[in-house]
Amino acid sequence: MGNQGGRPSKYDLNKEAQELLEWSQSSSSLCLYQFTFDKPYLAVQLTEFAKQNEEFSLALKKAKERLVVHREAACNQGKMNSRIWNRSVRIYDHMLREEEEATKDADAQRKFKIISTQPPHFFIHQYK
């Protein structure tokens, strides 16, 4: 689809999308910083590229899915410390992030419902 408005990209994002997909197929691909290590741009720019180019956006999503699988396998094989996995899993695993956010939202709604059904003096008397 190409650039969807704004300043033209100085990188060929369709080409970068293909390179990202190819790179992410390797089981040694564990982190997007590896992909951008030898690139002239930063890993934080990947999100901006995804906003500018639909092909790159899809490639980034697919690459993140692959990285989840690679990282989980590395963790299960003892090649990646589980603390690193736990700390960064939400970056790559969108389904987990969405589920956790939905759980937080449901819990917040549950708590609000409890609070909103109690008389105002209920909470004051509870803690005296």
Confidence category of residue 27, pLDDT binned at 50, 70, 90 = very high
Tokens 């008397």 found at: 125
How does pLDDT run across 60-115, given as a tens digit for each residue? 999 999 998 998 899 888 888 777 666 666 666 666 667 777 777 777 888 777 77
Q: What are phi and psi of 40, to 5 degrees?
A: -80, 0
d(CA 61, CA 96) in angstroms, rounded, equals 14
Tokens of 47: 């999100």
- Give the per-residue pLDDT at 3: 47
How does pLDDT run across 28-60, given as a tens digit for each residue? 999 899 999 999 999 999 999 999 999 999 999
pTM (2 d.p.): 0.66
End-to-end CA distance of the chain: 63
Q: What is the DSSP letter of 28?
A: T
Q: Within 13 Å of residue 38, how many CA atoms lie on the same side as its CB? A: 4
